[in-house]
Amino acid sequence: MSVFTKVSHTQLRRFLKQYPVGALIGFQGIGEGVENTNYFVDTEDGRWVLTLFERLNYADLPFFLGLMDHLASRGFVSAMPARTHDGRNLVTLQAKPAALVRRLVGQSVLFPNLEQCSQVGRALGELHVAAQSYAGHCDNSRGALWREQTGRLLARKTREASIRRLIEDELAQQMSIELDALPQGVIHADLFRDNVLFVDDRLTGVIDFYYACNDALIYDLAVTVNDWCFEPDGTLNPARWDALVGAYRSRREFTEAERAAWPLVLRAAALRFWLSRLYDWMFPREGDVVHVKDPDQYKRILVHHREQMPPAL
Ligand SMILES: Nc1ncnc2c1ncn2[C@@H]1O[C@H](COP(=O)(O)OP(=O)(O)OP(=O)(O)O)[C@@H](O)[C@H]1O
Ligand SMILES: N[C@@H](CCO)C(=O)O
């Protein structure tokens, strides 16, 4: 669970006066999530999620909030950010950048069925298409340079020689891939199961756009299948894979270059989350309740991709 910054009832009441949302009814810290502080907030005018951004700078946030606005206003199932009386969707609370967004209905699923995987693949394709008209630009803060620098740091700091060897070898092999040369666009970059909401089998929400960036579209698909289509022991679930990838393809066809790069792109995506989780284990953050995810799960997925060719696109 993660609530890094506590907000009092009085602070929240004062904060909400900036918005046309009516008086505060109740609020509660949200346990899930590892990056930001989140609260569910109920007011006379509806249900909201308040996010205090713990790592992101004020200057970086208009890209993410603008993207959510862009997608939601085109009918995509993302949360529309609320605006203050004077039109701002980004404000300050407790000296941190903060935003209030619509609370979407639904729950995330831990064990997705084939219909849910198919809906996620379709939604990702639709997101890529709808975001083509978004004017904002943001480099991937967890892109190739970050993977290289973080990998080198963790390889130096770890006491386990096998981890050091795996990171160094994977970084060397990743040198042969140029994600920039593949079809580009705005990507979600973190479309894990905990960032998608369902009511039964109906996908009702995509949340947490705070890693969204410009990068290779196929990398986003790799991030998504690595989370949705693998079992906890690191083995691939082929039926989920086919459902998700097939539904994505119904919205956007792959290029030859993407098909050729796919095995290494899957590895780049697995490496990114292994490294970020490993970093959080090795350098834990202070907080009221802090949730850290298991790095080994992503090490297993990376090793799987290194040993076995994935199904072709
Ligand atoms: N718009 C929304 N509607 C409904 N629930 C939401 C919404 N935004 C966030 N949540 C809830 O808050 C939880 C945490 O949000 P989020 O995933 O954005 O956390 P985080 O710490 O910012 O990110 P991360 O997933 O990267 O750790 C979600 O799991 C979900 O339960
Ligand atoms: N989705 C990430 C956390 C936020 O980036 C993970 O599971 O490691």
Q: How far apart are CA 104 and CA 92, in angstroms?
A: 23
Res 287: pLDDT = 59
CATH number of 114-307: 3.90.1200.10
> Which distant-in-sequence residues (6+ apart) come within 8 Å of 178 by Cβ?
none
Contact 201, 122 (CB under 8 A): no
Residue 146 reports pLDDT greater than 50: yes
**Measuring from each residue's beta carbon to the nearest atom of ligand 1, which residues come in under 6 Å?**
2, 30, 32-36, 38, 49, 79, 101, 103-104, 190, 194-195, 205, 207-208, 210
Q: Does 9-102 carry CATH code 3.40.50.1110?
A: no
Res 1: pLDDT = 44
Helix 238-249 / helix 114-130 crossing angle, nearest 10 deg: 30
Query: What is the pTM assigned to this prediction?
Result: 0.93
In this structure, the residue with its CA closest to atom 5 of ligand 2 is 190
Res 33: pLDDT = 65
Using one digit for the tens of pLDDT, what is the confidence trace for 224-266?
999 999 998 889 999 999 999 999 999 999 999 999 999 999 9
Please state the rounded mean pLDDT for residues 13-29.
97
Using one digit for the tens of pLDDT, what is the confidence trace for 123-141?
999 999 999 999 999 999 9
Q: Which of 192, 292, 301 for a ligand 2 pocket mutation test, highest count of atoms within 8 Å of Cβ?
A: 192
The values of phi and psi at residue 84, to 5°, are: -75, 170
Report the DSSP beta bridge partners of residue 97. Answer: 92
Instruction: Report percent pLDDT > 90 for the chain.
Output: 89
Measured in whole angstroms, the distance separating CA 253 from the mean position of its chain's CA atoms is: 23
Res 204: pLDDT = 98
**Ligand 2 centroid vs 190 CA: distance in angstroms?**
7
Residue 57 reports pLDDT greater than 90: no
Query: Could you report the predicted ipTM of this complex, rounded to two decimals?
Result: 0.91
> Which distant-in-sequence residues (6+ apart) come within 8 Å of 161 by Cβ?
none
Domain boundaries, the chain: 9-102, 114-307
Residue 2 reports pLDDT greater than 80: no
The single-letter DSSP state of residue 180 is G
